[in-house]
Amino acid sequence: MDDLRVGVIGCGGHARSHFEMIAAEPRVRLVALAELDDRRREETAQLRSVPGYSDYRRMFDEHDLDIVHVVTMPAHLKAIVLDCLERDINVSVEKSPGMDSTETQAMADAEAASGARAIVSLNRRYFPEVLAVRRLAREHGGTVNCGAIYNKALSGAMERFDSLLPPPIISDAIHNVDLLRWFAGPTEDRAAVPTEVHSLVADGPRPVEHRQNAVIRFDTGAIGTIESQYGVGGRIQRAQIHAQDFSAYLDLTMREKKVEMYRSGQGNQPSEVGGRVEDPLDLDAVGGPGFNEVKHFVDCILDDRTPWSNLDDAVITMKLCEAIRRGHSGVLEL
Ligand SMILES: NC(=O)c1ccc[n+]([C@@H]2O[C@H](COP(=O)([O-])OP(=O)(O)OC[C@H]3O[C@@H](n4cnc5c(N)ncnc54)[C@H](O)[C@@H]3O)[C@@H](O)[C@H]2O)c1
C-alpha cells in the first residue's frame, strides 16, 4: 500500500503535536504544509523538510493530498474545512470545530455531500488510558456515573476569546465535556447523548473568568458532572468513571497520565471497602500505548468506517457545551 499523503494547514504552537503524530504513523507521509505567517512557515517547512505554502489552495493544486490537518484557530476553521471537503480531501479538524454548533453543523453537512471523511480532534477520546478504563467499565455492566474537572489560571491568550475563540468551555474545556459523553457511551464506538442538563454559571469579575458547574443525564442512564473554572489556581484536568463495583480516577493534566482504580465484590461477595487494583491497564487491548487520533483516522479511511469523533457527533458535544455556558436547566433538545 502506498503511504497516504498528508498536508497541514496552520503551523502555530499546537501544530507540533499533529506533526509528531503524523511522523509516528507509518501509513502516512507529510508532503506539504501551509501557513500565513512567513517566519513560522519557513521555519516549519525547513524543520519538517517539506515545501511550505502561504496559500493552502496552491498546496491543494500542487499535491494530490489524501488527508489535511487543519490546525488553525476556531474562527478560521470552517472555510478551510469546507474547501477540503469540496475537493474530497479527508480532513482532521481541530477543536473547537468552529465558533458555535451552527458552524460545526455546516461542516457536517459539507461532509455528507463530500466523498471524504472528517475527524474532530477531540483527542481525549483516543488516549489509551481513557479507552482502557472505559473498556473495564463496560465489563462491569456499563458506566453509571462519570465526572470531570477542567480548571485553568487566566493566561495571556485570554484576549483571543470572542474574536478567534468561543468561550473557554466551548473552545477549551470541551475536551472534558466530550470526555463525559465518551465515558458514558454504551459501546466501544459510541458516545452517550445528553438528555438533561442542569448548569450553574457564576463568572468572576475579570474578562473570561468563566466558572460553570453542571450535572448531565445521558440517554444511557449514566449521570455526569463537570466543574470548569477559569481564573483559579492553575491547570488541572481530572476525570473519573464508575460502574458497578468498579471506579477509575484519572489525572490527565500532564503528558504522562495517572490512573487509580478500585474494584469490589470480586467473588460473589460485594466488599464495602473495595480494593485498589494494582494490575497495570491493558493498553494493548485498546490499540497499544501509542494509539491516537491519527491512527484511528487512518484505520477509518482504509476500512471505510466513520471516525468516533465525527462532525455529526461533535455537533452534540458543541450543543452540550453551549447549554452549560448559558446555564441551561432542564431537558436538552438537540
Ligand atoms: N487538542 C488540544 O489539546 C489543543 C491544544 C492547543 C490548541 N488546540 C487548538 O489548535 C488550534 C491551533 O492552536 P494554536 O495554539 O496552534 O494557534 P496559533 O494561533 O498559534 O496557530 C494557528 C496558525 O494558523 C495559521 N493560519 C490561520 N489561517 C490560515 C490559513 N488560511 N492558511 C494557513 N495558515 C493559517 C496562523 O497564521 C497561525 O500561525 C486551535 O483551534 C486550538 O483550539 C488544541
Ligand 1, atom 21: nearest CA belongs to which residue? 12
In degrees and rounded to multiples of 5, residue 38 shows phi and psi of: -60, -50
pLDDT value for 273: 67
pLDDT of 123-164, one tens digit each?
999 999 999 999 999 999 999 999 999 999 987 666 677 789
> Quick one: pLDDT band at residue 315, thresholds 50, 70, 90?
very high
**124-289+313-331 and 4-123 share a CATH fold:** no
Q: Which residues contact 150 (CB under 8 A, 6 or more apart)?
A: 172, 173, 175, 176, 226, 227, 228, 236, 237
Q: What is the mean pLDDT of the chain?
A: 95
Is there an atom of ligand 1 within 6 Å of 35 CB?
yes
Confidence of residue 303 (pLDDT cuts 50, 70, 90): very high
Tell me the CA–centroid distance for residue 126 and ligand 1, in Å. 20
Minimal-distance CA residue to ligand 1 atom 34: 35
CA dihedral 109, 110, 112, 118 (to 10 degrees): -110
- If we measure between CA atoms, which residue out of 74, 20, 63, 47 comes closest to residue 295? 20
Model confidence at 269, pLDDT cuts 50, 70, 90, reads low
**Could you tell me the residue ranges of all domains in the chain?**
4-123, 124-289+313-331
What are residue 143's DSSP bridge partners?
Answer: none
User: Does any ligand 1 atom lie closer than 6 A to the CB of residue 60?
Assistant: no
The listed CATH number (3.30.360.10, 1.10.3720.10, 3.40.50.720, 3.80.10.10) that belongs to domain 4-123: 3.40.50.720
For residue 265, pLDDT over 90 is answered with no
| Fold of the CATH domain 124-289+313-331 | Dihydrodipicolinate Reductase; domain 2 (3.30.360)
pTM, entire model = 0.97
